[in-house]
């Protein structure tokens, strides 16, 4: 198998064309690609994709829809893409697959659809990728796999190799580093409150956590590492919430907390550490910048990784804010209420700024399943969650696409509504490795 050079011909070479082709061939398939508007530059007997109205022999011919040659937004595109998606879902790829892929990873539909949930998030069932039969499958990666197999069949002597690979990626959000420990006044107040309410068992756990923080229900970091080492899976990325003020949504320890500082520094030795922007920071770049600076002060290095708290994200404003403070990797591309592939792909990709028609420096890292989605939004029991995940792994392996999970240290506590969910995480790593 060899790494080929692909020749891509289009009469118009727009930023959208270049962006889409680079994503497919360079970032996913790991092939070299030469894009040209001059047909005379295409060598004979080369791997040749023709993206124009003209017919050329020995080429994979894809008729352009027009989306990749446009600027700005056209509401009718969403309707036409519905038709494209319907065909692809039936295995008919005789459509403009390049416009389809661009439509999905640019999140074109999210600019035009004004329907949001109560937290201002794009609603999953408004996406053209979602339906009751197929859920949110990796339709972009399925399409890229079709391109790879079609070119292999067309040029069998070349034995083209694919860079598409399945792998499991774990990411952990730390909303509270400890449930009871290292909270100063709040720790003592919690004990008193439990005593007054005659909740002696809860009082015992609180006192135990205060005097031995490693026994705190949310202190699961060593357990997480053990699970990853046992299954030979790369250690997770941690995202820490460092809001300046406590409120209903932000209940983290202060960034000046010495125990928290030791924890973050210790984890940074073997893990990537990112910021988990607070609920209030969503529309306030000053707060966002301050929280990132707090984490950088602890780590004594630049922080480039981030995931939005509660997945509060609005394109393009959120991405512009992140870029404005020096974030180059965001992990918020997924839904709170559904599992699956929001952008149709498990691969990281550069965000394309549709309003300014240029490729940004922000890498978007999609995730496909979150603990809260399974337990709260879908109302699944632990055994049911395992079955859902088994199906996701099967699909990801079938189409050679990454599968990324979002978990919380708090859901590994094995108490209350999270009783048994530590075992679910362990199971995910075991079958997903």
Question: Which domain CATH number covers 325?
Answer: 3.20.20.370
Residues 266 and 188 in one domain: no
Give the Cβ contact number of residue 239 at 10 Å: 26
Residues 133 and 205 in one domain: no
Residues 325 and 379 in one domain: yes
Residue 188, pLDDT above cutoff 80: no
Token pair, residue 230, equals: 């046992």
Residue 163 covered by a domain: no
Cα(424)–Cα(256) distance, rounded to whole angstroms?
Answer: 33
Residues 418 and 301 in one domain: yes
Residue with tokens 């997770």: 236
pLDDT digit string (tens) for 231-246?
A: 999 999 999 999 999 8
Residue 371 covered by a domain: yes
3-state percent breakdown (helix, strand, coil) of the chain, nearest 5: 45, 15, 40
pLDDT digit string (tens) for 278-307?
A: 999 988 999 999 999 999 999 999 999 999
Residues 389 and 287 in one domain: yes
Token pair, residue 174, equals: 């730390």
The closest alpha carbon to 221, from 159, 274, 264, belongs to: 264
Buried/exposed code over 214-236 (b: 16+ C-beta within 10 A; e: otherwise): eebbbbbbeebeebbeeeebebb
Residue 34 covered by a domain: yes
Residues 411 and 327 in one domain: yes
Token pair, residue 318, equals: 């959120």
Residues 127 and 203 in one domain: no
Residue 182, pLDDT above cutoff 90: no
Q: Residues 401, 407, 409, CA angle at the centre, nearest 5°?
A: 150
Number of domains composing the chain: 3
Whole domain around residue 406: which residue ranges?
A: 168-178+219-432
Residues 210 and 260 in one domain: no
Q: How many CA atoms lie within 13 A of 140 on its CB side?
A: 32
pLDDT digit string (tens) for 303-356?
A: 999 999 999 999 999 999 999 999 999 999 999 999 999 999 999 999 999 999
DSSP notation for 107-160: THHHHH---B-TTSPBPGGGSTT-BTTTBS--HHHHHHHHHHHHHHHHSGGG-B
Contact 394, 432 (CB under 8 A): no
Confidence category of residue 202, pLDDT binned at 50, 70, 90: low
Residues 210 and 241 in one domain: no
Residues 42 and 91 in one domain: yes
H or E segment and range at residue 274: strand 273-275
Contact 143, 93 (CB under 8 A): yes
Residues 210 and 337 in one domain: no
Residue 82 covered by a domain: yes
Cα(269)–Cα(293) distance, rounded to whole angstroms?
Answer: 19
HEC string of 165-227 equals: CCCEEEEEEECCCCCCCCCCHHHHHHHHHHHHCCCHHHHHHHHHHHHCHHHCCCCCHHHHHHH
Q: Can you give the pLDDT at residue 213?
A: 67
Token pair, residue 279, equals: 């609920």
Q: Can you give the pLDDT at residue 160?
A: 80
CA separation (Å) from 188 to 167, 333, 388? 44, 38, 41
Residue 381 covered by a domain: yes
Residues 246 and 190 in one domain: no
Residue 96 covered by a domain: yes
Residue 127 covered by a domain: yes
């Amino acid at each position: 198998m060899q790494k080929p050079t692909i020749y891509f011909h289009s009469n118009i070479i727009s930023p959208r064309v270049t962006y889409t082709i680079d994503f497919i061939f360079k970032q996913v398939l790991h092939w070299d690609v030469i894009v040209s508007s001059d047909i005379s530059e295409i060598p004979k007997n080369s791997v040749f994709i023709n993206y124009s109205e003209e017919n050329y022999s020995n080429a994979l011919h894809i008729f352009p829809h027009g989306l990749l040659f446009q600027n700005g937004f056209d509401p009718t595109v969403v309707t036409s893409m519905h038709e494209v998606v319907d065909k692809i879902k039936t295995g008919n790829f005789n459509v403009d697959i390049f416009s389809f892929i661009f439509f999905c990873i640019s999140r074109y539909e999210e600019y035009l659809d004004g329907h949001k949930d109560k937290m201002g998030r794009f609603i999953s069932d408004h996406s053209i990728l979602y339906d009751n039969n197929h859920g949110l499958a990796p339709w972009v990666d399925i399409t890229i796999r079709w391109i790879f197999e079609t070119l292999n069949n067309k040029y069998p002597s070349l034995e083209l190799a694919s860079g598409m690979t399945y792998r499991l990626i774990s990411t952990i959000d730390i909303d509270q580093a400890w449930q009871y420990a290292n909270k100063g006044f709040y720790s003592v107040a919690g004990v008193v409150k439990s005593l007054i309410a005659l909740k002696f068992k809860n009082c015992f756990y609180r006192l135990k956590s205060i005097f031995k923080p490693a026994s705190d229900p949310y202190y699961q970091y060593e357990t997480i590492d053990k699970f990853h080492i046992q299954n030979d899976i790369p250690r997770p990325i941690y995202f820490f919430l460092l809001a300046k003020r406590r409120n209903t949504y932000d209940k983290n320890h202060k960034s000046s907390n010495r125990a928290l500082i030791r924890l973050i520094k210790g984890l940074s030795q073997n893990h990537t550490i990112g910021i988990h922007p607070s609920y209030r920071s969503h529309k306030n770049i000053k707060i966002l910048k301050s929280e990132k600076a707090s984490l950088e002060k602890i780590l004594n290095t630049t922080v480039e990784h981030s995931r939005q708290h509660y997945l509060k994200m609005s394109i393009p404003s959120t991405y512009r804010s992140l870029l404005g403070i020096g974030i180059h990797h965001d992990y918020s591309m997924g839904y709170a209420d559904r599992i699956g592939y929001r952008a149709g792909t498990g691969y990281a990709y550069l965000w394309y700024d549709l309003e300014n028609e240029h490729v940004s420096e922000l890498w978007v890292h999609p995730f496909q399943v979150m603990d809260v989605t399974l337990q709260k939004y879908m109302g699944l029991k632990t055994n049911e969650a395992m079955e859902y995940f088994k199906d996701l792994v099967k699909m990801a392996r079938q189409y050679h696409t990454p599968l990324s999970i979002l978990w919380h240290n708090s859901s590994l506590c094995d108490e209350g509504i999270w009783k048994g969910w530590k075992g679910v995480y362990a199971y995910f790593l075991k079958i997903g490795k």
